Amino acid sequence: MAPSLFETTTPRRARPSQRIRVGFLAVGLSLAIVLVSVTLSSFLGARALSEAVTRGQAAVIRSGLSDIQHGWKRDPTQAELEAVVAELEQLEQLELGIRYVAVLHADGSGPRIGTPSRSLDPAELKGLAHDEVVELGEVVIVVVPLAPGAHRHGGPGLGPPERRGPPPDHLGPPPARPGPPGHLIVEFEPIMRAELLTRSRRELGVGVTGAALMLLASLGFWRLSHQAERAEQRLAAQRQLAALGEMSAVLAHELRNPLASLKGHAQLLVEQLEGSPAHPRAQRKAERVVSEARRLEDLTHGLLAFVRVGEIVRERTSPVAIVESAAIDLDRDRVQLITSSAPRTWPLDGPRMQQVLANLIDNALQAAPDQPVEVEITQAHGMLEFMVRDRGPGVPADQREQIFAPFHTTRTRGTGLGLAVARRIVELHAGEITVTDNPGGGAVFTVRVRTESA
């Protein structure tokens, strides 16, 4: 395989722009991860702190209620219960949002203020009385057993009526001392915890948003720099092609006349040696000169075709007729046309597109000398498609871009200009030419051409 004119044998290295892109993306990703980690750690710490604050508030309430109710000698009145609420609300450092306070006896009676978040049966009250704090959604419940001295049936400041004299015998043994007469229940909203959680969620949202923006900025920079690099590469390739075109035009012009003279004289020499059987070796050498002269002539024609690809003139023409004209000078019997989805006409530069398809069909016929070649013409998504399928060895994935470079060829006697000219013509039609694998083996060259208005 002949190397491309622009290929180099030195190993490929990462370009400085590519290293900058990778470094910038790595830094952006690292900063985003650090920012998310810090904000998440802060959020988890705020949650733990809010739980500790809530438990501390509940402990203060339990201690305060225990101290208050030890001074009761009877059931508190509604006014006394309101005084308890007022005393709790004066603890500004706790920032309590008291919703419900009640003295609840076993029979469900007792004074209360507010509406409970849910009703509690005696069994639940007994279990809750041993917990430091019980959370029901956004509400915290504190349950404190009433002191035994706070009886329901005693007079104000008095215990039960004092019995004078010895107890009568018919009353039997004295009754057992009753258990706790009830429970003191307080429900409150932990405002401080809510504020801590709200602030921590806001900070977490800001941190995650900042990390996402940082990552998006890194990806945006990557994409923009990649597009800029590709544009720079295309510009460099265009400059190389322009320089190559100028050089090719000069070479082709300077070689045409000497080459024509060389070819003509060699052909005359072959004709003279044909009638002289005494010089068969000289005849073969003369024929070799003619063959090489013809190859150089093909090369000069290719160079001129490559240089002269400039503007195109579109006219409404039949894509099927273009393919028929391209295959007429080739092995037409092996070319199978699929035209069921072909449009009747399309705006194309007929001679130029015929040159493209003739090159693709000729390459396909040479890739598999004993196999047919399929050429399908379709219209899809506002584009005209020519698909040339062969049964040859295919094109390796790492060479699918290189084969369109000038002077890149896999043939011993090829010029390497056919596909380069084909790509330039297709791009002038605002289209593209690609190569993929044929599912049945071989390669598929696809030419896509837009309309003039697309």
DSSP, residue by residue, 83-114: HHHHHHHT-GGG-EEEEEEEEEETTS-S-EEE
Among residues 251, 284, 308, which one ends one of the domains? 308
* Same domain for 396 and 287: no
Q: Is residue 269 part of a domain?
A: yes
Q: Is residue 405 part of a domain?
A: yes
* Same domain for 379 and 425: yes
> E strand or H helix at 249, and its extent?
helix 191-274
Q: For the chain, first and last CA: distance in Å?
A: 39
Q: How far apart are CA 275 and CA 267, in angstroms?
A: 14
Query: What rounded mean pLDDT belongs to the chain?
Result: 76
What is the model's pLDDT at position 7? 44
Residue 9 has pLDDT above 50, yes or no: no
Q: What is the dihedral of CA 348, 351, 380, 226, to 10 degrees?
A: -90
Q: How far apart are CA 120 and CA 109, in angstroms?
A: 13
What is the model's pLDDT at position 223? 84
Q: How far apart are CA 354 and CA 328, in angstroms?
A: 11
What is the model's pLDDT at position 103? 81
Among residues 253, 275, 308, which one ends one of the domains? 308
pLDDT band at 236 (very low <50, low <70, confident <90, very high): confident
Residue 334 has pLDDT above 80, yes or no: yes
* Same domain for 298 and 388: no
What is the model's pLDDT at position 60? 76
Q: Is residue 64 part of a domain?
A: yes
- Span 60-87, pLDDT tens digits: 777 777 777 666 666 677 777 777 777 7
* Same domain for 137 and 62: yes
* Same domain for 196 and 103: yes
Q: What percent of the chain has pLDDT over 70?
A: 71
Residue 1 has pLDDT above 60, yes or no: no
Q: How far apart are CA 80 and CA 86, in angstroms?
A: 10
Residue 452 has pLDDT above 80, yes or no: no
User: Of 275 and 83, which is predicted with more confidence?
Assistant: 83
* Same domain for 352 and 296: no
Residue 364 has pLDDT above 80, yes or no: yes
Q: Is residue 159 part of a domain?
A: no
Residue 213 has pLDDT above 60, yes or no: yes
- Over residues 361-386, the mean pLDDT reads 90
Among residues 270, 290, 308, which one ends one of the domains? 308
pLDDT band at 151 (very low <50, low <70, confident <90, very high): very low
Q: Is residue 171 part of a domain?
A: no
Q: Is residue 286 part of a domain?
A: yes
Provide the token pair at 197. 């959680």
Residue 270: which residues within 8 A CB-CB, separation 6 or more?
A: 283, 286, 287, 290
pLDDT band at 303 (very low <50, low <70, confident <90, very high): low
Domain extent at residue 379: 315-450
* Same domain for 361 and 257: no
Q: What percent of the chain has pLDDT over 90?
A: 12
User: Of 306 and 116, which is predicted with more confidence?
Assistant: 116
Are 375 and 327 spatial neighbours (Cβ–Cβ below 8 Å)? yes
What is the model's pLDDT at position 93? 54
* Same domain for 325 and 294: no
Residue 156 has pLDDT above 50, yes or no: no
What is the model's pLDDT at position 336? 92
Q: How far apart are CA 184 and CA 141, in angstroms?
A: 11
> Bridge-partner residues for 188, per DSSP?
98, 140
Residue type, 109: S
Q: Is residue 30 part of a domain?
A: yes
Are 356 and 447 spatial neighbours (Cβ–Cβ below 8 Å)? yes
Q: What angle do CA 444, 378, 410 make, to 5 degrees?
A: 20
What is the model's pLDDT at position 180? 47
What is the model's pLDDT at position 159? 39
Q: Is residue 294 part of a domain?
A: yes
* Same domain for 361 and 321: yes
Are 185 and 2 spatial neighbours (Cβ–Cβ below 8 Å)? no
Spatial CA neighbour of 433 closest among 372, 360, 362:
360
- Parallel/antiparallel/unpaired status of strands 373-380 and 335-341: parallel
Residue type, 449: V
What is the model's pLDDT at position 195? 81
What is the model's pLDDT at position 231? 81
What is the model's pLDDT at position 85? 75
CATH code assigned at 334: 3.30.565.10
- Over residues 87-104, the mean pLDDT reads 70
pLDDT band at 219 (very low <50, low <70, confident <90, very high): confident
Q: How far apart are CA 295 and CA 272, in angstroms?
A: 22
* Same domain for 183 and 36: yes
Give me the residue label for tokens 């800029």. 228
* Same domain for 446 and 423: yes
Residue 347: which residues within 8 A CB-CB, separation 6 or more?
A: 314, 315, 316, 317, 451, 452
> Bridge-partner residues for 144, per DSSP?
184
- Over residues 385-408, the mean pLDDT reads 85
How many domains is the chain built from?
Answer: 3
* Same domain for 188 and 57: yes
Q: How far apart are CA 299 and CA 252, in angstroms?
A: 8
What is the model's pLDDT at position 27? 84
Query: pTM above 0.85?
Result: no
Helices (H), 90-180: 122-128
What is the model's pLDDT at position 446? 94
- Over residues 98-113, the mean pLDDT reads 78
